Amino acid sequence: MLVILTLMQFKHQKYLKVRYNKTGQNMKSLEPIFIGRKNQPIRPQWLTDLIPKLAYNAGIQKKIRNSNITVKNEKTSHELRDLLKSTLIIEGVASYVCELAIGHKVGDSYEKQDKLYPNKSREEFMKASSKINIFSNYTNYLKEGSQLKEKIKQVEVLENRIEDNQKVVKDLIVDKQNESDKKTELSQMIVDLQKEVNSLKASKKHLQ
């Protein structure tokens, strides 16, 4: 833990130098540490405004106009919490972790799983990571893509083998046909030679 805190402190000190190079001023007390691309301070309200904007851009949130005056979001925080809890339940996450994830108090005062066994709670939540974490989900899609590419390669190998086998069979048929033609040609030559022998015999007999 001490190592992590030391590393975080080092990163913050390093960023303060970056911040000074951007603004030309030392950071004052109670000022936000991080600044945006236009050197505007990143305050809680900035994040509050950013998340809905990202949701609209991604197409997962829409504005609904009830009247000429009232406008509300298609999806509310309650619906999103319901979706999160339902997803956790479907993925087999322990019920107390499902409650924790949506900000509810766990059971009664005798239930302290989350405090006594935080690692276990973390493991339970991770059961649903592939469904709710965009990064792990992205990794899953990459994995599926890699598996698909591997299957395509296997199909291509099989197709090449089939093509090679078909070529071998075709060559064998041609060879067999050539062999048959040769046999026919040889038989015809024998017949012609026999005719020629018979003709010579007849000529010899006639001369005698």
**Per-domain boundaries in the chain:** 16-75
**pLDDT of res. 207:** 55
With CA atoms as reference, report the closest residue to 87 among 125, 141, 140: 125
Q: What's the CA gap between 164 and 174, in Å, rounded?
A: 15
Average pLDDT, the chain: 76
| pLDDT tens sequence across 20-50 | 888 888 888 788 888 888 888 888 888 888 8
Most confidently modeled range among 48-62, 91-105, 138-152, 179-193: 91-105
Label residue 2 left, alpha or beta by phi (over 0 means left) and psi (-120 to 50 means alpha). alpha
**pLDDT of res. 142:** 55
Q: Is the pLDDT of residue 208 over 60?
A: no
pTM, 2 dp = 0.41
Q: Is the pLDDT of residue 61 over 70?
A: yes
Confidence of residue 104 (pLDDT cuts 50, 70, 90): confident
Long-range CB contacts (< 8 A, 24+ apart) of 139-142?
none
**pLDDT of res. 205:** 59
Query: In 94-137, at which residue ranges do the beta strands (DSSP E only) sit?
Result: none
Lowest mean pLDDT among 67-71, 148-152, 197-201: 197-201
| pLDDT tens sequence across 151-192 | 777 878 888 887 777 777 777 777 777 777 777 777 777 777
* Average pLDDT rounded to a whole number, residues 72-88: 83
For CA atoms 78, 128, 100, 94, the dihedral sign is positive
Q: Is the pLDDT of residue 88 over 70?
A: yes
Quick check: 96 and 114 in contact, CB under 8 A? yes
CA-to-CA dists, residue 104 to 13, 76, 95, 101, 108, angstroms: 37, 17, 11, 7, 11
